[in-house]
Structure 1
């Protein structure tokens, strides 16, 4: 799954998206902070490939995109909107292919602008990046070629505090960055970053009105932070092989960035530091039981604005949750299976 698969809906309920063989599933709290429902299919009965991208707008609505089979040897992208985690999502609707037709080109990415319009990014056959966006009054614009070449792994998309959309993608020896200059405009390819980067480790977070911070793991195994226009800095050694989850939260009265990652030991590791002040230093603290090797980690804020961490094993469907305790520091409650 590409994006924030743990979300808080408009009504405060938490929901998670997970995969099955031919469907995207959703589980949600019955009441904010309460028991969880059983998994339900997203988007109706259509069979889809289980590699969804997820983005959430400021209105709390979630937008999902994934591939579905069309004719033999070909596939097309589909989109669904989900207005409340505990309600049914809209049926999957076709939004085309970055090359008009062909087979899957890689996992897409989704971001939602300040006007609530979903932007779906996908690699094209030429290994550049394309985008299709919703119109403000319904329907979709044509696919746009955003240029670039050599994209490795899935792109990631993020909405800046300005409400404009950005995308990032790893290439050999660097990172490509696209940015909207104004709402509704076509994202423009910016000056690339030359840096050793491991594909599939990118994660972006809006960290101030001026900046979006990109986290990635470099070839030496360090988690690095990069704000376009500056130089990347090393934050700390990666706890494990996958991407970090990242969220901003207040800790003891300070605006902090919280990172989480499945560690090499199999447990979840947390680290926090003052937002955009990587020089202050950060270190990992492990929590909870050992997780399956394919487990992924996500962070969100619950109905009481407490940090929630979730660990999900796609192969088993095992979902475990913890919340921050109501006390100073970053103490977490005992993990529980839901």
Structure 2
């Protein structure tokens, strides 16, 4: 068996189309690498029980058949996965059953044919037909003692619908059992903390399906228990936005979105195949509507994180930071400039109680003394809607050997009294910077889509939470300019002004940080990346909506207005943040991104006013996770680091000569 086939990625989902809608293209890259995929679907997704196109004016005249509609959805899912891994929709699946907790019997479908093994596990919790109060959400909160399961019409499950009942604890321990049985290196879940669309004057409304949220909370709590118990395979967790995608500019390239629609069309039975068994036609309620729903055009991570997680320490060694098994870890270069690694090892004492887990990524900043400071978000998941905690935490380097102090809890802007427990779940990923006076600052998006911040004074004391206003999508880039001022950039949400890039800045190093919407730069498909050029101007890099092309903008002068001229750099598609670094000796700006194939592409652009180009180098190798980071090592070579699909660190050094990047070999820690 090849090493790739020994890996497993596990997905925990509410419905049978959640992975196709919200986890592609990552899912496709995993399968094409030969990695086994196990998908766990919590609900039967039976809706109103009519497997009839929603465009049919007479659909309400059709009888309700909840078991039949679930059969159609699961048949469509098998067809879609068959097409992904074998190239055709009608591969043969092995269908068996699995006894899980609470005496429940689940259905297991396995497909060994094709480029990667696929296992689909259906737990078939009823969504609650009609006005029934029982939902996945009420099972999570404990408002429902137990929830019935449904038996699809053609399932090998032996007993009829309603014969089995899952309790909250039974579902959680079933998920832990499945994690232990499969030992995944990556677990994909939905968004446990979606953005709100309405707050006040009644219940809070969110921009996602409540089953997505509850499934994510069940998954995160099961992962916490699994991590506390310990396991040999290190695991990386990824969380994906759901219906939120339709609210912001679309981030997939045309090719990536077309491929997503292809498999959704197979799932919906709209791929032109001949269907002589109505129960097996697919999800006819979706049918050909995958394109016009608006949330398939993007794939977005709930926690953007940053590209600052690779830094050079004071002794010259590189250090890479991440989160594995719900805890912060660090890889260290074995010697300065060696390009080889040790680790991962935990860092920072008292990383958190067993009831807490770190969210996926860390932000790392270097101060004026060269010391490193790592920021993260520590979470506690609760059945009580007022019991959730999401706190910014910090661990700081204490000596030249790279030791870190204990993690310090810096809190949340909504940890006070009143309705704040609801608000604190929507905290964004921290962005950090050292200001012109040498003070450490961090910034997070808050419940109101504005920016909250705290400042650490030179004596080590932290000031109160500040509100810098503005409104933006999640994901900031903070930079201290050569003039000693701080600037931050994010994608604005409109709100009465033209959607585009919002800029927070200071007039001088002592000035207040204030937002402005007058950059005249169009809305990006994700968070921007900003670097300072040798002449003091800033260079801003974003992805263009609908194409995923990398686009560059320059300031007209240091601290001045932005030139709205868009410079198209190409970039091989892809999603996620762009990593960039200005090299010394006028060698240019290195940019790295994860492309549509899930690999890393790099380019070297001029740091002067010369024309940009569209020449990129694909560094090859297997698909990787998330976003790359760039740092120069002790020899001056730019080094790109990523985390692989096996949760291991990979790095590659780049030689630079006469404007040309030449990659060396990938090194795995």
* TM above 0.5: yes
Report what 1:238 is aligned to.
571
Q: Which moved more, 1:273-282 or 1:124-133?
A: 273-282
The answer on 1:321 being equivalent to 2:651 is yes
Q: What are the residue-to-residue correspondences of 1:86-125 with 2, within 5 Å? A: 87-101=402-416, 102=421, 103-104=424-425, 105-125=427-447
The answer on 1:197 being equivalent to 2:528 is no
- For the Cα contact (< 8 Å) 1:53–1:65, is it kept in 2? yes
Report what 1:223 is aligned to.
550
- For the Cα contact (< 8 Å) 1:98–1:122, is it kept in 2? no
SS in structure 2 opposite 1:152?
coil
- For the Cα contact (< 8 Å) 1:30–1:86, is it kept in 2? no
Q: Out of 373, 380, 394, which is 1:79 matched to?
A: 394
**CA separation of 1:300 and 1:38: change in aligned 2, threshold 3 A:** same
Cα shift at 1:232: 4.4
C-alpha separation between the residues in 2 aligned to 1:55 and 1:217? 24
The answer on 1:171 being equivalent to 2:492 is yes
Q: Out of 297, 308, 318, which is 1:14 matched to?
A: 318
Report what 2:473 is aligned to.
152
The answer on 1:135 being equivalent to 2:460 is no
Quote the RMSD (CA, aligned, Å).
2.4
Cα shift at 1:55: 1.9
**CA separation of 1:183 and 1:136: change in aligned 2, threshold 3 A:** farther
Report what 1:287 is aligned to.
619
- For the Cα contact (< 8 Å) 2:543–2:551, is it kept in 1? yes
C-alpha separation between the residues in 2 aligned to 1:255 and 1:266? 27
- For the Cα contact (< 8 Å) 2:595–2:601, is it kept in 1? yes
Q: Which moved more, 1:125-134 or 1:225-234?
A: 225-234
SS in structure 2 opposite 1:119?
strand
Report what 2:345 is aligned to.
40
Report what 1:270 is aligned to.
602
- For the Cα contact (< 8 Å) 1:11–1:84, is it kept in 2? no
- For the Cα contact (< 8 Å) 2:307–2:578, is it kept in 1? no
Report what 1:68 is aligned to.
378
- For the Cα contact (< 8 Å) 2:323–2:358, is it kept in 1? no
Q: Which moved more, 1:138-147 or 1:47-56?
A: 47-56
- For the Cα contact (< 8 Å) 1:178–1:190, is it kept in 2? yes
Cα shift at 1:38: 1.5
C-alpha separation between the residues in 2 aligned to 1:289 and 1:192? 42
C-alpha separation between the residues in 2 aligned to 1:326 and 1:215? 21
- For the Cα contact (< 8 Å) 2:571–2:614, is it kept in 1? no
Task: Name the structure with the higher strand share.
Answer: 1
Q: Out of 325, 331, 336, which is 2:662 matched to?
A: 331
Runs of 4+ in 1 over 4 A off after TM superposition: 83-86
**CA separation of 1:75 and 1:266: change in aligned 2, threshold 3 A:** closer
C-alpha separation between the residues in 1 aligned to 2:565 and 2:328? 35
- For the Cα contact (< 8 Å) 1:222–1:234, is it kept in 2? no
Q: Out of 575, 584, 588, which is 1:256 matched to?
A: 588
C-alpha separation between the residues in 2 aligned to 1:312 and 1:245? 14
- For the Cα contact (< 8 Å) 2:479–2:486, is it kept in 1? yes
Cα shift at 1:112: 1.5
C-alpha separation between the residues in 1 aligned to 2:388 and 2:459? 34
SS in structure 1 opposite 2:583?
strand
Cα shift at 1:259: 0.8
**CA separation of 1:326 and 1:155: change in aligned 2, threshold 3 A:** closer
- For the Cα contact (< 8 Å) 1:60–1:83, is it kept in 2? no
C-alpha separation between the residues in 1 aligned to 2:631 and 2:534? 18
C-alpha separation between the residues in 1 aligned to 2:609 and 2:399? 35
**CA separation of 1:78 and 1:20: change in aligned 2, threshold 3 A:** same
**CA separation of 1:280 and 1:122: change in aligned 2, threshold 3 A:** closer
Higher-Rg structure is 2
- For the Cα contact (< 8 Å) 1:261–1:268, is it kept in 2? yes
The answer on 1:23 being equivalent to 2:327 is yes
Task: Name the structure with the higher helix share.
Answer: 2
Cα shift at 1:31: 1.6
Report what 2:28 is aligned to.
none
- For the Cα contact (< 8 Å) 1:207–1:275, is it kept in 2? yes
Q: Which moved more, 1:128-137 or 1:41-50?
A: 41-50
**CA separation of 1:27 and 1:114: change in aligned 2, threshold 3 A:** farther
C-alpha separation between the residues in 2 aligned to 1:208 and 1:72? 49
Cα shift at 1:84: 5.9
C-alpha separation between the residues in 2 aligned to 1:295 and 1:74? 25
**CA separation of 1:179 and 1:209: change in aligned 2, threshold 3 A:** farther
**CA separation of 1:57 and 1:226: change in aligned 2, threshold 3 A:** farther
C-alpha separation between the residues in 2 aligned to 1:183 and 1:9? 26
- For the Cα contact (< 8 Å) 2:431–2:442, is it kept in 1? yes
